[in-house]
Every structure is written in structure tokens, then in C-alpha cells.
Structure 1
Amino acid sequence: MSFASLRFGALGLNILGICLLAYALSGPRPPGRRWVNLGPVESESPLRIGHQVQLLVDNEVLCDFQHVRRVMGPVRKHPQNPVLQADQPWERNATVMGGLQPATAMYDDSDGLYKLWYTILQPQTFGGSGVAYATSRDGVHWSKPNLGLIEFAGEKGTNLCRLEPFGALVRGLRLVQDPRPRPSERRYLGIGVWPKHEDGTWFGGWLGVARSSDGTTWRHMGGGVREGSGGGFPACLWDESLQRYVLFHRQLTEIALPEQRKRYIVRQDSVDLQSWSPRRTVFNPLNPVWPEVESMNVFRHEGVFFGLANTLETRERGEMEIHLVISRDGYRWEEPFPDRAFIPRGPQGDFDDMLVYWAQPILRGDRMHFYYGGARYSHGYPHEPVVDDGTSLALLPHQKGRYDPRPNRIGLATLLRDRFAGLRADEPVGAFLTRPLLVEGDMLYVNAAVDRELRVEIVNPVGEVFDAGPKDDWAGHYISAREEVFPGFSRADCEAVTGDGLNLPVRWKAGSIGKFKGRDVRLRFLGRMATVYAFVIK
């Protein structure tokens, strides 16, 4: 044996002796306990939700659910649909060649008006299309004000918008969703605006940027980005967390089979609406029935990105309808109801029985308003296109140019606030449990439709790990865990929530959830014949 081996062997014995001495001096240990850690255990860090409404459109705030199913909120079409259609002299050719499409919409608190910009599809007069402006006090009955900006047949008494410095009709316009205060000359920001070439023709296929102080006279700002394959409708909004604009529109040329046209959604970012990041694919559904996304309007509500995807069926009838897609970051999107339309096509004979598309959302009071385009003709030219001769539907053999469609018109659909989707519990009972939440409010409110009853209990997010002792079917001790429902806040202590309301209060015998302000809790919802769409602590 070498000297080095003897030296390190002696060193090892010394270290072992020191360890044994330290163990002996540490005092007696309960047999079997040194290998496990018993006591309270936290499962995960709490979510800081503040006073923000928690929408149950996905599982972001949930950790478990049993005997519940996700259901779509009921979207209602207005009985007076269509609420806007071609009825002015400068819109007359649109009754044959295309009609009116919603371009963008908003509610303006400063003057108490619903405002709708719409596109007149009129190739014979405008060489393609033009943007007009309408206002309403109630969101149903619309007026087309005399702006005096664009001449038609020798008269300037039209509601057509003007684009400077070209002194021409605005073509292509979508409002940029940016709630930040801005100088008056940039009160409205628009994207998708076509600029003009020096020879007087348009730069088609370019998403230009424009600004306006009144929403009717616009000034081109330069910059922009190439629009997606075949055009479509872009959607642009300011992301406060990223401090940049995000743009959603169609892909450029990237298609798996170049000989077959395909549409899906990409994203680009910008800090100034002038220079844009490279395109990134964000939504391309693998849906055999609705395989393409013609366009997708995007808005953000209560921390969630919502996409109103114009999904297109391309194999048989060329139908289009709006599907709901959601995202938490604007990159990863999911479709909670891939086989069901959020805004469906109407029954045969209605103005929207073939195409429903490009819904413009406005939240006003307790309702979300969606102004959408509807038509009775096929999108594209499938083998047996469904066309409309103005009185009835008929199937014609494939022959391009045989369309005589009823024009595109604008309809209204509404949804009760925050009821995009909910969790439905049937009999005998269904339940879901939230992730740990930091309580920063005084009262818990639920947005729910309850036929029987709904109860909530408050659970300690810190579980208890303990030694359950020997078990008959287990050779030795078994380590188990248990939860604690806070005394006075169990399901038995909760006053039953009943009825249908957007802000139903939840109370317990021991008081309100405000007793836990500054602490972490889990909420367990238990329902019978009840649908919960959202909850908030405020």
C-alpha cells in the first residue's frame, strides 16, 4: 500500500469520527423521522390578481376541476339586423358589387356616441373600396353625417373620409387600440391605410399608418408593413406590459403546398408603428372542417387576448363564420370550441346565411357589442358555389362570374359582460379549485347563472404533511397530506348563491373574504345546475 493511500485512508477515518461525534452530540432523534420532513407545505406561489376579473375561458387560474364542462356564453343577434346597409347614392353600386363591411368601431365617452367606420365595396365608382363614417346614440340606429370632405357626382354631402396629403378617399382603415393619452392631432391612430403613388394610383397590399384628430380627416404618417397574402383585415393594439404595438394579420407567402392557397395568422411587433419585427406564426388551426383563418380581429380584456377568427371552409360551400380563440401572451393561442361558432351564420334566407366575419367589439355597460359583416354568397369559387339572386338561394355549376349576390351588410350581436365561456356544473355536484390567490379586496363576487345553487369555501393553500402511521395494507408507516378549510368558511357556512347575475355576492357565516386580506387562499366552487363565467375580489 502506498503512502498516499495510507494518508487518505487515515484522513477518511478522521472525518468519519468527527461526523459520528457531531451526530452523538446532536441529541436523540425520533426513530424513522430523520428521512422525512413533516408539517406545513406550500404547493405553489400565489397569483396576485388584485381587483381584476378572473375569466374562466381557460385553466390559467385553476388547479383542479371535477364534473364540470366548459360552455360558451350565449351570443344574441339583434332582432333588427342588419343594422347598417347601403342606402345612399354613393353606395348604390355597392348593392350589386359587394355592399358594406365593418372596418372598425368604438364607443366615444367624450361625446356619447357609438362610432363605426365601414368599407363601401364599390369598384365601379371608387375603383375598389372607400371608407365611410357613421354614428349612433344607441348602437342600433345609425346616421351617416354629412362630412363635406369627398365629392360624389358633383356633391360633397357625403360621409366619406378623406386622406391627406393626397386629398383622396381613405382606403383601408383599422383603428389602433391604444388607450394612452395622446396629442389631439393623434387622437385616432389607424393602420391598413393605403398610400398613393406619385402617378396617382394606389399602393395596394401595404398596411400604412395614419392619424386623425376627428376620425374623418386622416393624414398618412409613412411607414407600415406589407400586408398578408391576399389582403385580409389587420388588428393592432398597444401591449402595456411589452411597451410596444402588436399586429396580427395574414402570412405572406409561407405555404406548405405553394400550388394551394392557405391563410393563417402571424404576429409582428413595433415600438413606433413604423418599423416592424419579422413575422411569427401564432395561429394556424389543424381543423379539417374549418382549416383556414381568413383574418382575426384581436382585442385584450381583463388580461386575456381574445381573437375573433374568421374561419373559412374551402372544400364544399365556401362558408365563413367567427370562432373564439384566446391567449394569455399573444403568442400561444387555443380554440376552446373548435367545432362551434362564436357568432354563427344565420338560417337560410337571412342576410348572413353564408358569411359571417370581422366582428368589431365594443364594451358598453353590461354588454359587449359585436358589429360584424354578413353576406349570402360563397367566399371564393368552390365547385358548387352557393349564390344569391336577391330572392332565393340556388346551387350553380362552377363558373366564375355568375354571381349576383345580395350585398354585404352589417349586423349586431351582443354578449353579457365577461360571459365568453364558463364552467358548467350539473347534478349531483361539480367543483373546481383555484390556484393560491393573494386576497387584496373585501368581497367576492361571481358572474354566474345558477339554476339550483352555488357555494364557495375558502381553503388554506398550505397543506399539512403528516405520518399516518402503520396501515393494514402497507408494510410500515405511510406519509399522507391533508388540507384545511378555514373555520366558518366551509361550504356549509356559505350562503347559497342563486339566480342569474353579473355580480352576485358570496358571503359566509363568519363574514366576507375580506377577513383574509393580505393572505393567500384557495377558492373551491361547488355547484349544482350552475354556470360560473368569472369571479372577482374587490
Structure 2
Amino acid sequence: MPLTKHFTTASLRGVGTILATILLTAAACSGESPKDRLPQLHLAVDKSYGKPPHTVKLQATLSPVPLDLRQHPLLSWYEDQTNASCVEADGAALHMEGNAAKMIQLDYTVTPNTVLSFDFQCIQQGEIHAIGFDNDRDLDIASAQRMFVLHGTEGWGIANNVYRQYQPRQGDDGWVHYRIPVGRYYQGTFKYLAFMNDHDVPTPTANSRFRNVSLVETGEQPEGPQIRWDLGDEQSATDAWAVSHTYERPGLYVIRATVTHQGKHIASHKVNVRVKHPPDVRRTLFLDDRAIQKTTGVQRVVHRALKHPGNPILVGDQPWDAYRPQVYGTVQFDAQRNVFRMWYLAIPSHVLSPDPEPFVGGFKRIGHTTLVGYAESQDGYRWVKPKLGILSFNGSKANGLVNLGRDNSEGVSIIHQPQDPDPLRRYKAIFWEHRVEPTTAPTGRETLSTDPRGDGMWVSFSADGLHWNDFSGNPVIPQGSDTGQCVLYDADLKQYVLYSRLGVGRRISRSVSRDFLTWSQPQLVFAADGGDPPGTEVYGGGFSRYEGYYIGTPWMFYRGTNQRIDVQLIHSRDGIHWQRTAGRERILPNGPEGAWDSGIIFTACQPVVLDDRILIYYSAFQGDHHGHPERDWEESKRYYRGGIGVATLRRDGWVSLDLVYGGGEIVTHPLLVPPATADDDTPRLLLNTNAFTGDVRVTIQTPDGAPVPGFENSNNLHGDFLRGEVTWPRGRTLAELVGRRIQLRIRGRLARVYSFWFE
């Protein structure tokens, strides 16, 4: 069978990027059956060398051969009344009409890594359109726990199903692609793959089409030196790919890709990738052993953020936030205006309050409605609430409220993109909008909002962060997330990433979008596990990109024990697979009994990284989650009003590797010495270290461990350095080593090492 190999390079003007793509595929020969088709492998190497950080990214995606449904006889199950089903497109598609239910026998073992991939089309909606695994041909409770409902008028199927969002795009002829990680929902060996087109009416007209159905086992590809792997390796029952790379000389890598089909090697390709600047110029942190070959006499320590002595720095002292200000919201530093900006959840009252329910924007709201308050600060510690004159509260616009959403805009997360070519979209917000009717009757005039848009996740846009325009097509996700949302822009993926609790209960899900309007199906990415106390849940969290990592500050809710919430530290390389950092240490613990933050703590969706500080803004209150309804209004105010505080870490201060009293050392994996990023053409090695009571020194050695002559022992660093430059005797500099593969051997005693980097 002929095999085509395609390789192209293209220069993308303005972003300093060269894209190299390999496509390995079989020629589409006329008359070939699906079982003869070969898989496709797309391998993309993206080399970015504009402004630092310089990166090399390798992406690989396998498109496995879909199931040939002609090789699997269609079996009826449940109420297959109309029996109007057929296989189309040379075995690649199943068409179902009326009230139909079909199965094919696969005898497939669903593992934690199993992904079900397919396209779905529906022209006429019925009651249930679904797909899933089963072990018999009866419809029972077990069936409901395994079927993923994609569309339909009836509520049925697997719990927490986030895939019931059939929304075809214009121009796609109604087809929507699904990629369901079945192994995250259930596992085991199953006899059948089942399809349902349920329309139990006298004259059923519903229809469903499923095509390109495939089962893929996904696995994480380990990171190789000098290359960040963006996607894991994949294999199906018949197809697999493998990618490797080797370093040839400074600036040159060789990428090799192979594809196998039914156990046989069918294709391979090699391409040289030239890189102007090596990729290792980001700061290297020690959240995990990503950069480390070995350590001796070293302890990894998670550092608790230092709470500001003046906390809380913002309290509910205005009518619109009198009950509670809370950072189910966003804090940013605006470098253009040199000011800190805060958008926070403002709650004016409470169900126990004797005060009348407020009017907001002319409409009546519940007392504990969730509004969006705004505050500013020159230093990040002393805040003011300017009177914005935007939204009326009890008949007056002299307040600090911005107008986001319809009734209850909860958990607003805002990003600022000054480079957006549309000036009206440079601020973007996403939040949970939901209607809660006031408990008291209207006052004789129309006092309830008549906005017809439904509940769910809404987005809004602004030129200045104050005057907002809600998207006319809201909700962009027809589900709610009863927590603080967290959205960020990943420049590597060129996507917006949303962390919330969409469809997963008190756990964390992830969804992505390229335009902030069309979002992927939420995917479960983080949850409590057996290492947590019984009954622990994840109430929400803050998430950000930091020096090549994703950093998370999950809010751990101890529902099964003391009903309190504190904050741990987690990290990830891809934003999907998360690790607890150095165990389950708390980066923000509850305060002592009776303190303002002794009960519950929530962080803002991202920290503020400014100069040599990391500022973590958080809201807290004294009461626990139980709420104690027996308390009266005055007690409730004392326990649950709380406020907003701030805690600080030094730059890169999430984790350190501590060198013990008797001496310790850290040996890195091999890395390249990059050219200088400054104008003096002499690269420098810098350490973020606290060696105030000890000392640190560095040996540069070859990848096989031999010291490089002249770089055996650096001059000692003694003191507390946020940017400690490593120097060597007799004026030796790293200019002599540019482009060489080296290892760093960091040695010392009684010192904390937070990070290192070249510049």
C-alpha cells in the first residue's frame, strides 16, 4: 500500500515561530475498506525564539483506525421497536431512526486510560440519544450508570454527565466530535458497546448518527531533556505511535517518529529541527524532580504564605457588601496604571437579616444576592471602593458595583489582555449566572428581571474592566458551577483554560476554548483521594501558569470531620495531571481558634506576581461550612461576615530544596547553556537562595559527571539572595560554555534553594 510522507516549514511573521509538521498516513485508495486503512500521525514541532522564555514544543496526535461496524453484527436491545438502523459509509457510521437501540459485541476492557472517540449527528431530537458500555441486553440501573447521554428531552444516564451539550456549529452539518474519557467514570470488562436513539411515542421520528467510533488508550509521555512534550503517547487496539528525539549539537535536534499498525511497523520519518536559542531559559523550580537527576542531604519544603498582620485588609463596610466581601473573584496589578484592581463577590445581606430585600438595577433581588464589587489599591494592602456610578443599588448609583450578568453573577474570573486587537474585548469575564426569586412579593410594578437568557456559565467583555457587555448568546455552557471560577490564558496552548466544578460535584474540572465563547466538554482533573481525611471534598481553587508549570491552590473542604476549609498546594506540567506538592502541606492554614480566618479560606483565582513577591489574596471567615442555623442574625454576622486578606511568598517561594547542616547537594539533568538574553553577550547563572546561616556554591560538570576545568568550584554565596549571581574564580564566565550540555551540581549547607535560571 502506498505511503505518503509530508513535511513543511513555514515562518509565522511577528511571533518568531517556525512550525515543522510531519504527516504519516496511508494513501486513500479507492475501494479500500476501513479495516485496510492505516492510522494517521500528526507531529508538530513549534520553536519559539522571540522574547524569553524560548521554547521547543513537540506535539503528536494519533488518529486511530475507526471501528468497522460491518465486522460487528448489530444486536437489538431494550425497546428496539422500529429496528430502523443501518451501517453506512463503508462501515464507518451507524444510522438509527425512530425508537431504536443497538449494540455491537466488543469484549473490551475499560481501563483508567480508555477514551471513547466519535462523531455524533442528530437532525430530529428524541428522548434519549446515548452511547456507552454494557454487559447484557437489558435496560436496568446498571445501564443508566454507564450510558453517556448526548442529547434528548429526558434526564437519564450517568451521573455528573458533562457531555449532554449537543451544540453543532454552523457549517458542520450537525456533526459534533466527542472524546469521552470513559475510564474516569467507570472501569472493567464489558461485552457490548451500546447505542440508544430512544423516542418512545406512537410515531417516533428521532434519529442519530454515530461515525468514526474508536477506542484509544492514552498515557503520559515522560518529558525528555530540552523538549517539553505537550501531549501523551496514544495507542488503540491496532495502532500506536512513538516519538523520540536526540541532541546532535548546539541548536540542532533530530526528531524521529514511527507508526505501527496491527503490530507491524508501517512508517517512520526523521527530521532535523534547528533552534536558534535552546529552550531552557525559564526559571527552574523544585516543585518536583523534573529538573533533578539526584539529591543528597536535601529536604523538599512547602512554604506557608506569610499572612499580613493588618488582615483583613478589606471588609464589608458599605451597604452593597455589608454582609460579606469575598474573593470568589479576581485581583490583578495593572502595570499601565500602576494600580492593583480587585473584582470581588459582594453580598449585601443574609436570609436571617431583618432588612428588606434590596433593589439592584431597578429589580428586586434576594438579600444574599451575589453582586460584583470593585476596589483599587496603590500598594496592594490599603484598598478603596470608588463610587463608580454604573449600577443602582436601592435607588442610588453612588456605589462600587459593576454591572455583570442578570441576577446573581457568582464567582467571576477576569483576565486582562491589552494586546487583543478588539479594544472592547480586552477584559474578559466568566461567571455562574443563576436566578433566585426574592422571597417577598413585588411592590405592584415590574420588579423582576425579564431577561430570557438561561442559567449557566456566562461571559462578558469590557474595554476598561468596569463597563461590561454580556454576550448575547449566553450561557456559553448550560451548566452551573457553585464556586469561584478560575480562567487563564495559556500562551503555549493558545487557549483559554477554565477551572471550575462543572458537572463533577465538589471536584475540579477543566474546559478549554480558543475564542472564549465555545468551550470544550469539562473534564475531571482533580479530586480528593484516599490520602485525605474521610469525607474530604474540593470546594474550588485558584489556578495559574508559573514558569512553565501550572500552580494550583485547592480549597480542601473537610466535610467529614470539622467542616472547615483550608488551602493546599498542587502542581502540574499540562494542567490536566495534578500532583500534591511535597505531600499535603497547607500553604494557607486556618488561623487559630477565634481568629477571623479560623473557619473557611478561599483564594482569589490567581496570585499577583510583582517584582520579587507573590501576593495571594484570600477571603475567610470564622464560621465553618455547617452554618449553624440555630444562630440568630447577630451571631451569624460575627461568624460569617469575614473579609479579604493577603499573604505573601518570596518570588519562586512555593517550595525550596533545603540543604541540611551536614551538607547537601543537588545534581540537575543535563541542560544547555543558552546565549545571553542581555546585550553584553555573557550569559549569567542566577540562584534564588537563602544561605544567610550557611553557604551555597556550584560546580559545572559534563553530563557524565566530570567537572569542567575552571568551573569546579564557584565563589560562595552567603546571604539571602533573590537574584544571586554565581561567579567563578579568575574571571571565568559562561560565555565559554554557550551551547554545551552541562550539569549543575549545587552544594552547600544550611541553605534553601528556591530556583535557578540563566539570563
Q: Does 1:373 align with 2:373?
A: no
Deviates more, 1:289-298 or 1:141-150: 289-298
Mapping of 1:325-404 within 5 angstroms? 325-359=570-604, 360-380=606-626
- Match of 1:529, as an amino acid? L
Deviation at 1:505, TM superposition (A): 1.0
**What amino acid does structure 2 have at the position aligned with 1:499?**
G
Deviation at 1:524, TM superposition (A): 0.7
In structure 2, distance between residues paired with 1:45 and 1:82: 45
Whether 2:347 is the aligned partner of 1:121: answer yes
Give secondary structure in 2 for the equivalent of 1:317. Answer: coil
CA pair 184-428 structure 1, distance change in 2 beyond 3 A: same
Match of 1:86 in 2: 316
**Quick one: distance in 2 between partners of 1:153 and 1:512?**
68
Distance 2:408 2:379 in 1: 28
Is contact 2:508–2:525 with CA below 8 Å preserved after alignment? yes
Conserved? CA contact 1:388–1:404, under 8 Å: no
- Are 2:457 and 2:478, in contact at CA under 8 Å, matched by a contact in 1? yes
Deviation at 1:215, TM superposition (A): 1.1
Give the gaps of 5 or more residues in structure 2.
1-223, 228-277, 351-356, 359-364, 437-447, 677-682
Per the alignment, residue 293 of structure 1 pairs with 538
Q: 2:528, 2:537 within 8 Å by CA — same for their partners in 1?
A: yes
Report the CA distance shift for 1:182/1:343 in structure 2 as closer, same or farther (over 3 A).
farther
Larger radius of gyration: 1
Residue in structure 1 matching 2:726, options 473, 485, 506: 506
Matched, 1:486 2:712: no
Q: C-alpha distance in 2, partners of 1:271/1:185?
A: 18
Displacement of 1:163 in angstroms is 3.6
Whole-Å separation in 1 of the counterparts to 2:311 and 2:566: 17
1:355-376 deviations in Å (ceiling 9; x for gaps): 1112341111111111101101
Indicate the larger mover: 148-157 or 347-356. Answer: 148-157
1:194 shift after superposition: 2.3
Query: Contact conserved, 1:232 with 1:294, CA < 8 A, in 2?
Result: yes
How far residue 426 of structure 1 moved from its aligned partner, in angstroms, is 0.5
Partner of 1:139: 380
Q: Is 1:515–2:741 an aligned residue pair?
A: no
Within 2, Cα distance between the matches of 1:193 and 1:74? 31
| 8 Å CA contact 2:304, 2:588 repeated in 1 | no
Q: Secondary structure at the match of 1:84?
A: coil
Q: Secondary structure at the match of 1:57?
A: coil
Q: Conserved in 2, the CA contact under 8 Å of 1:195 and 1:220?
A: no
- For the 8 Å contact 1:457–1:489, the answer to whether it is kept is yes
> Is it true that 1:104 corresponds to 2:330 in the alignment?
yes
Indicate the larger mover: 234-243 or 370-379. 234-243
8 Å CA contact 1:377–1:388 kept in 2: the answer is no
Q: C-alpha separation between the residues in 2 aligned to 1:201 and 1:295?
A: 29
CA contact (8 A) 1:101 1:408 kept: no
Name the % identity: 29
Q: Distance in 2 between matches of 1:193 and 1:216?
A: 18
Q: Does 1:435 align with 2:435?
A: no
Deviation at 1:74, TM superposition (A): 4.2
How far the C-alpha of 1:284 sits from its partner, in A, is 1.4
Deviations 1:399-425 (A, max 9, x none): xxx896340310111111111101011
Q: Which of 393, 399, 413 lines up with 1:152 in the alignment?
A: 393
303-312 or 64-73: which moved more? 64-73
Compared CA separation, residues 149 and 297, structure 1 to 2 (3 A)? same
Aligned Cα RMSD in Å?
2.7
What one-letter code is carried by the residue in structure 2 that aligns with 1:518?
A: G
1:302 paired residue number: 547
8 Å CA contact 1:130, 1:170 repeated in 2:
yes
- Distance across 1 between alignment mates of 2:493 and 2:320: 43
Q: Which residue is 1:268 aligned to? A: 511
Find the aligned partners of 1:361 and 1:79 in 2 and give their Cα distance.
18
Higher RCO, 1 vs 2 (CA within 8 Å, ≥6 residues apart): 1
TM-superposed CA distance for 1:339, in Å, is 3.2
Kindly state the Cα deviation for residue 91 of structure 1 after the two structures are TM-superposed.
2.9
Matched with 1:55 is 285
Query: How many residue pairs align between the two structures?
Result: 446
Give the direction of change, closer, same or farther, for the CA distance of 1:193–1:292 in structure 2 (3 Å limit): closer
CA distance in 1, matches of 2:389, 2:729: 65
Distance 1:424 1:388 in 2: 50
Aligned to 1:213: 463
- C-alpha contact 2:412 2:485 (8 A) present in aligned 1: no
SS at match of 1:139: coil
Aligned counterpart, 1:7: none
Q: CA deviation at 1:177?
A: 6.0
Gaps of 5+ in 1: 1-43, 254-261, 392-401, 464-482
CA contact (8 A) 2:689 2:720 kept: yes
Residues 1:177 and 1:300: Cα distance change in structure 2 (over 3 Å): farther
For the 8 Å contact 1:54–1:536, the answer to whether it is kept is: yes
1:238 equivalent to 2:481? Answer: no
- The amino acid that maps onto 1:500 is D
Counterpart of 1:77 (choices 292, 307, 311) is 307
* Residue-by-residue CA offset, 1:292-313 (whole Å, 9 max, x unaligned): 1111211101111111111110
SS of the equivalent of 1:116 reads: strand
Q: CA deviation at 1:389?
A: 8.6
Give 1:337 deviation, angstroms: 3.9
Cα distance in 2 for partners of 1:88, 1:365 equals 32
Partners of 2:386 and 2:566 in 1: CA distance: 31
Please give the secondary structure, in 2, of the residue aligned with 1:189: strand
SS in 2 for 1:448: strand
